[in-house]
Amino acid sequence: MSGRTPAQILEAAGVPFSSFTHAPIRTYEDIERELDLPAERLLKTLAFRTGDRFVLVSLPMLTPAGYGKIAKAAGVSRSKLRRAGEDDLAELGMAPGGISPLTDVADRAVVFHTPVPDMGKVYCGSGRDDETIEVDAASLVDLVRPVIADVAS
């Protein structure tokens, strides 16, 4: 299981951010209903499992993910890439609806869709489904050091 929360990772690195709590969210419909945030600033993170390795992929909320492109960017076979289940997310210390690109889990690849570094202020998962983090995308990229690739379908 992950040691620190995404907020603790940001704090330890000295990256400025804020967070706020809200009703639990899992879907985009939940986000639209519960949060008054601009869709173009929302960053979704998808979690995958390839055996013992995790792949975390962050992209703009309304951008459809291309699984083949994700696998290629992460350096894994598409046939080995599977969506992480709730047990997998528990290993990351995260809940569905709160997946974050920030984790202490060592055996993982992180991929950001090409436009993410230039998105400015973004809102991303905190690890919990009832809290959202606001952070500068460029600062997030500097901290996470992800693979940057076109992963849209």
CATH number assigned to the domain comprising residue 36: 3.90.960.10
Residue 88 domain-assigned (yes or no): yes
Q: Give yes or no for residue 37 having a pLDDT over 80.
A: yes
Q: Give yes or no for residue 47 having a pLDDT over 50.
A: yes
**Residue 96, token pair as written in the block:** 């569905």
Which among 101, 102, 93, 115 has a CA at the least distance from the CA of 12?
102
Q: pLDDT tens digits for 91-150?
A: 999 999 999 999 998 889 999 999 999 999 999 999 999 999 999 999 999 999 999 999
Check residue 3 and give its pLDDT.
Answer: 82
Q: How big, in percent rounded to 5, are the helix, strand and coil portions of the chain?
A: 30, 30, 40
Give percent of the chain with pLDDT exceeding 70: 99
Q: Give yes or no for residue 58 having a pLDDT over 90.
A: yes
Pick the range with the lowest mean pLDDT from 23-37, 51-65, 122-136.
23-37
Residue 38 domain-assigned (yes or no): yes
pLDDT tier at 1, thresholds 50, 70, 90: very low
Residue 122 domain-assigned (yes or no): yes
How many whole angstroms separate alpha carbon 77 and alpha carbon 4?
A: 29
Other C-beta atoms closer than 10 Å to the C-beta of 79 total 8
Residue 65 domain-assigned (yes or no): yes
Q: pLDDT tens digits for 2-21?
A: 589 999 999 999 999 999 99
Q: How many separate domains does the chain show? A: 1
Residue 101 domain-assigned (yes or no): yes
Residue 1 domain-assigned (yes or no): no
Residue 137 domain-assigned (yes or no): yes
Per DSSP, helices labelled H in 14-52 are: 28-34
Q: How many CA atoms lie within 13 A of 116 on its CB side?
A: 34
Task: For residue 72, give its domain range.
Answer: 6-149
